[in-house]
Amino acid sequence: MFDAIVIGSGMSGGIAAKELCERGLKVLMLERGNNVDPGTDYTDSVMPWEFPNNNMVPEDEVQSDYQIQSQCYAFSEATKKFWVKDSDHPYSTPEGKPFSWIRGYHVGGRSIMWGRQSYRMSDIDFGANAKDGYGCDWPIRYDDLKPWYDHVEKFIGVAGTKEGLPQLPDGEFLPGWEMNDAEKQFKTAVEAKFEGRKVIIGRNANLSVAQPWHEELGRNTCQNRSICDRGCSLGAMHSTLTSSLPAAERTGNLTLVTDAIVHSIVQDPKTGKATGVRVIDRNTKAGKTYEAKLVFLNASTIGSAMILLNSANEANPRGLANGSDQVGRNLMDHLYALSTIGLFPGPKDSYYKGRRPTGIYIPRYRNVTEEAEGYVRGYGFQGGISRMGGRSAGMQPGVIGAELKAAARKIGPWLAFISGFGEMLPNPDNRVTLNTSRKDKWGMAIPHIECEQGPNEKAMAKQILADGKDMIQASGGMVISQSTDPGVPGLGIHEMGTARMGKDPRTSVLNGFNQAHEVPNLFCTDGAAMSSSGCQNPSLTYMALSARAADHAVKLLKEGAI
């Protein structure tokens, strides 16, 4: 028997395992996918011309195996091994309500491919549900999570600048990246013309300057290559593979089992506690049960909901920890792909060095410093300004030889790009259920995902596009392209909310320490736990919740309380 089982090796599971191991527990980590070896599986040392098909996946392969995954910006010939084959992992959606579930099944999960944007949520976010009545009140506030944000940021390494904004709390930052001259010009213009709006450098989990505790794990300072989605063999970006797992493994307390698809969690009918986890071998389809005193569920938002629903028993016919009927409900994803692109009058004699691994960020201002009409909550913008030319100038039909070389040397105009990320409200009708009429190749019911944007999101999307256009034009730019509607839910790759935290067991699944109300030794600390989405990239919050919950769980275990 193990002290703890962690289900999933992604962003939150990696931190949970590290924290539990460092507190002396013998931990089993279960990963449904294969192992990944950075030395052989990462492609960040491969030259662009060495990839077949100009690094594009052939259309027939996309159509047969990757129709959903290919919608992700990071999908390519170089990275397709890190995304699931849709043909092997089906799910269903209602007619007219598409959902694009972007995912990878392997050690490290999406922590290998994430965008690394790392922002704290604030008391504005943690208090939003109570203020406007959507969803259930969070059982925590910012002060509860602040020391754990500090703890995680120091460990993973987050580069950023301190700005003193109440809606975007400052953190324990490495030196922030520098804006280029055009971005500085844009910042000056926007902040002068829109009081209450700020343009800052993006906060990201890349080591601008590696610290000794990073180097001890084999991590190095970022080299500004911006090919992070291929995996960083330098360890400059945080991932489970290069940060959390090495930290857990050096304790001698971690056992990692791959190719272990979790079927369900076993519950003792007498005590109500979880006693173990049933798994199916991905390759042989043989079943096995592992036992432990604690279970941490970190299978990702949809995966964790599926495991709880699939763990139904005689006492819990609707699923484990689901007396509230909230498991699977309140699925959220950020509004995404609301982009505005414009030509920008930046300095003609200025350029920049390298490919910085982050862009600019405009923190939320609606319903903070500026009122909004027709919707609650708000949004932020991510983007950047760069010079056209170089490689793109030469990639024209018929341009070859000396003409191509000359075009490649020519520096073009500045191009501004900003894209809004808007908050999605919790809605119990947006949910994940079991499609019992269809089974996957391991004999388990596939997920049925029903999720759509409501009136609040649609009103917000219109304002995001209007604001994007206003800011580029007010700073002297000329808009040349703009989205018309947000992307399909799921494309933000920020799905969350299917096992929400709350104060009342009748309306929530987890308490303020991510502990299941009905199963005292079961904790869930991935995106499923979120009671609302905020508009910030959520991974940093998942990791902070994971570290906090692990600390609490170990205390309870040592006290004999669970």
Contact 61, 452 (CB under 8 A): no
| Distance between CA atoms of residues 517 and 477, nearest Å | 53
d(CA 132, CA 504): 18
Nearest Cα neighbor of 217 from 193, 197, 236 is 236
Which residue intervals of 109-194 are DSSP H helices?
Answer: 123-126, 128-132, 142-156, 181-193
Within 8 A by CB and 6+ apart from 19, the residues are: 546, 547, 550, 551
User: Helix, strand, coil shares of the chain as percentages rounded to 5?
Assistant: 30, 20, 50
Q: Which of 171, 23, 8, 5 is nearest to 544 (CA)?
A: 171
Contact 158, 116 (CB under 8 A): no
Bin 378: left if φ > 0, else alpha if -120 < ψ < 50, else beta: beta
**What tens-digit pLDDT sequence spans the chain (562 residues)?**
999 999 999 999 999 999 999 999 999 999 999 999 999 999 999 998 999 999 999 999 999 999 999 999 999 999 999 999 999 999 999 999 999 999 999 999 999 999 999 999 999 999 999 999 999 999 999 999 999 999 999 999 999 999 999 999 999 999 999 999 999 999 999 999 999 999 999 999 999 999 999 999 999 999 999 999 999 999 999 999 999 999 999 999 999 999 999 999 999 999 999 999 999 999 999 999 999 999 999 999 999 999 999 999 999 999 999 999 999 999 999 999 999 999 999 999 999 999 999 999 999 999 999 999 999 999 999 999 999 976 555 566 777 888 878 777 788 999 999 999 999 999 999 999 999 999 999 999 999 999 999 999 999 999 999 999 999 999 999 999 999 999 999 999 999 999 999 999 999 999 999 999 999 999 999 999 999 999 999 999 999 999 999 999 999 999 999 9
27-30 vs 200-201, strand pairing mode: unpaired
Contact in structure between 431 and 328 (CB atoms under 8 Å): yes
**How far is CA 199 from its chain centroid?**
22
> How far apart, in whole angstroms, are the C-alpha atoms of residue 516 and residue 508?
9
Report helix, strand or coil for 5.
Answer: strand
Strands of 182-325, DSSP E: 200-201, 254-257, 260-267, 274-281, 287-297
Which residues lie closer than 8 Å to 371 by C-beta, 6 or more apart?
none
Q: Which fold has domain 1-115+238-333+427-450+492-562?
A: FAD/NAD(P)-binding domain (3.50.50)
**Distance between CA 290 and CA 55 in Å, rounded?**
41
> Residues 199, 360: contact at Cβ < 8 Å?
yes
Q: 135: alpha, beta or left, given left = phi > 0 and alpha = psi -120 to 50?
A: left
Residue 317: Cβ within 10 Å count: 8
* Residue 228 in tokens: 């992070």
> What does the DSSP 8-state code read for residue 243?
I
Measure the CA–CA gap between 411 and 335, rounded to whole angstroms.
Answer: 34
Let me know: does 530 contact 491? Beta carbons within 8 Å: no
- Could you give the CA distance from residue 541 to residue 526 in angstroms, rounded to a whole number? 9
> What span, in angstroms and rounded, lies between the C-alpha atoms of 282 and 102?
20
Cα 336 to Cα 115, 532, 540: the distances in Å are 14, 16, 19
Pairing status of strand 174-175 against strand 159-160: parallel
Domain boundaries, the chain: 1-115+238-333+427-450+492-562
